[in-house]
Homo-oligomer: A and B are copies of this chain.
Amino acid sequence: MPQGKPLTVPDDGLSTRQRRNRPLLALHTGDGKGKSTAAFGLAIRGWNQGWNIGVFQFVKSAKWRIGEQTVLERLGRLHEETGEGGPVAWNKMGSGWSWTRKQGDAEDHQAAAVEGWAEIKRRLATEEHDLLILDEFTYPLTWGWLDVADVVETLAQRPGFQHVVITGRNALPEIVEIADLVTEMTKVKHPMDVGQKGQKGIEW
């Protein structure tokens, strides 16, 4: 519950309104839960503002966030039907990104990550989305699959007004450095510690 009172006011020549209206690069990292869930919460909120939402899932996880995908795509169709909210584009690696026809070699994850990043660069250049969620994007960076300097420069220099949220553990310091908002989700207590496995609705 921030009360809207900044601790310091920067000497950057911007008015509060100009500063308020800066696009954010947010990073949700740490070993705890909620990194992606909070990002999708932001997407839902952005949809309600009429934003064009682009989601890019970089790592195929067991349950594949199918709940979030179903709901966000449903909201995207609601936008098409009624004009409520904004458009939603959901893209996932693994089975082949949605903008490509080719199904590709499902095993070549690095090539798929490189292709995903190239598409994100194109969309940032054309300002297609108002909010881009790069889900689990820290991993292809940590694994050395992408050119970190290129990612840093592209994100830091992105044109216009595009919010970007990156999720995933072990964010590289270069990404923390350029992020405006960094939240670390820390596991204090988890049911898997006492032998409970994931369950419907909670984990997916």
Partner-B contacts on A (CB < 8 A): 1-4, 6-10, 12, 16, 19-22, 24, 26, 28-30, 32-38, 40-42, 44-49, 51, 59, 61-62, 67-68, 70-71, 74-75, 78, 84-85, 130-131, 136, 163, 176, 179-204
Contact = CB atoms under 8 A, between A and B. Distances in A.
A15 to B, nearest CB: 11
Contact of A59 (B1, B12, B198): B1
A88 to B, nearest CB: 12
A180 B201 contact: no
Assembly stoichiometry (copies): 2
A16 B198 CA distance: 10
Contacts of A49: 67, 200-201
B131 A201 contact: yes
A187 B27 CA distance: 11
